Structure 1
């Protein structure tokens, strides 16, 4: 998520100049190359974290001002970002983190056309079978992974579930860099998911999506979009201050059979 951290550096500079700051000054203070700076500005403007005030001049955007106000709540911007990503990928999206040795869904955005996954098995015991769980486990060191799996056995939930620790570790460690983690009907038959590791603090976190139909082509396209928008989610988490407390639905929440 280097792009998110680059955008954050730009945002820190903009926020220091209440009257606005030009690109030349931003480039000087961040030492970012022109193309990198342009991409960072595009991210910030789209997220309403920066606003153009004239030729190559910018001030803090409405989302940042609201988050920093006395009554502001950066979580509102996070919710808006997740809703935007949900609509972009055409699927329910989630934010999860690894807290106190367990998988925890902290935020989600669903809708009539983007239903969440039914939690038919506690997500905390299904990390090996979900995209969310895999995206969190891949950020842990070997000992912490072993500890987690010692507490939660690799139970088979569907014919597609991995039950070999060695195979699971190979899947986590041998995937190409910057590729999403997948759940191909491993948690629930008929549902596929994808998750992208992100980090907004000391805890392992990820953003994920779930699709209630086993459509490889749709999953591939949605996962690619999720990967491209993960930086926006990370920025929103940073603006929110930290990942909000766990938000669980009475009946279901989405860890997605992949998430």
Structure 2
């Protein structure tokens, strides 16, 4: 790109953003001519930008010839909201990492899947590599089992109907009935453990968190030679999870 091209590209971006601002002011949409007038743009420029923004999903053209914001804008808003949420609760996870000397993991149950939302670690913190994603290993991780324990019977059965309980280690629970029995009989509730079920040499403990009606989990891993600490970890995890839930409530 030459120096001469720079201002032209910047101007195009500015005009596109101005057009998006004008469209956002009309809940029921507005036609191209009105948008051009309100944005202070030439009609030809407006039509070109509208076609581009519709093509890329930032605007939609309705049957009446009016333009409204598209799904891409909503997606940007959702991601921005998620970033704001994580920035609010990240200090809690950082404090947990520093106190326990292990990485802190946060998950949420979204669209029927258990997904990692944040990992706070450091070069000196113990961590476990998620070689199989939480979407496919919910039955074998403390993070996933914590979420499953909080779901009602119908939601659990629906989840299990879509996921194979893969045999990740010799200790992995692969029978749905046994998994559910152990979840309901967990003696350390609300804490849930993974005793080398996901990765040999690693044990984990997790507790639930909530973002409105969305359940998630907060958990930490430990090397198996520190397994004796599992009993004391919930005493640190539960207050941290409560702070996370309170922080999340401010972003709803």
TM-score for the superposition, normalised by structure 2: 0.62
Q: State the Cα distance separating 1:73 from its structure 2 match.
A: 4.5
- C-alpha displacement of 1:155: 1.3
Q: Structure 1 residues 74, 138: CA separation in 2 closer, same or farther (over 3 Å shift)?
A: closer
Which of 224, 246, 249 is residue 235 of structure 1 equivalent to? 246
Runs of 4+ aligned residues of structure 1 deviating over 6 Å after TM superposition are none
* 8 Å Cα contact 2:210/2:248 also seen in 1: no
**Relative contact order: is structure 1 or structure 2 higher (C-alpha 8 Å, sep ≥ 6)?**
1
More helix by share: 2
- 2:176 counterpart residue number: 165
Aligned runs of 1:216-255 on 2, under 5 Å?
216-239=227-250, 241-242=251-252
> Does residue 93 in structure 1 map to residue 84 in structure 2?
no
Distance 1:73 1:171, change over 3 A: same
Instruction: Report the secondary structure of 2:150's partner residue.
Output: coil
Q: Cα offset for 1:130? A: 0.5
Contiguous gaps of at least 5 residues in structure 2: 1-82
- 1:206 corresponds to which residue? 217
Find 2:94's aligned residue among 83, 90, 108.
83
**1:208 alignment partner, SS class:** strand
Q: CA deviation at 1:213?
A: 3.6
Provide the residue aligned with 2:25 in structure 1: none
Match of residue 117 from structure 2: 106
- Pick the aligned partner of 1:197 from 204, 208, 214: 208
The verdict on how the C-alpha distance between 1:226 and 1:143 changes in structure 2, with shifts beyond 3 A counting, is same
Q: Does 1:187 align with 2:176?
A: no
* Range with bigger deviation, 98-107 or 172-181: 172-181
Bigger radius of gyration: 2
Number of equivalent positions: 170
Q: How does 1:127-166 map to 2 (within 5 A)?
A: 127-166=138-177
SS at match of 2:186: coil
Task: State the 1:202 CA deviation.
Answer: 1.4
Please tell me whether the aligned partners of residues 185 and 214 of structure 1 are also in contact (alpha carbons under 8 angstroms): no
In structure 2, the residue matched to 1:125 is: 136
Cα RMSD between the aligned structures?
2.0
Contact 2:101 2:126 in 1 (8 A): no
Aligned equivalents of 2:243, 2:143: Cα separation in 1: 18
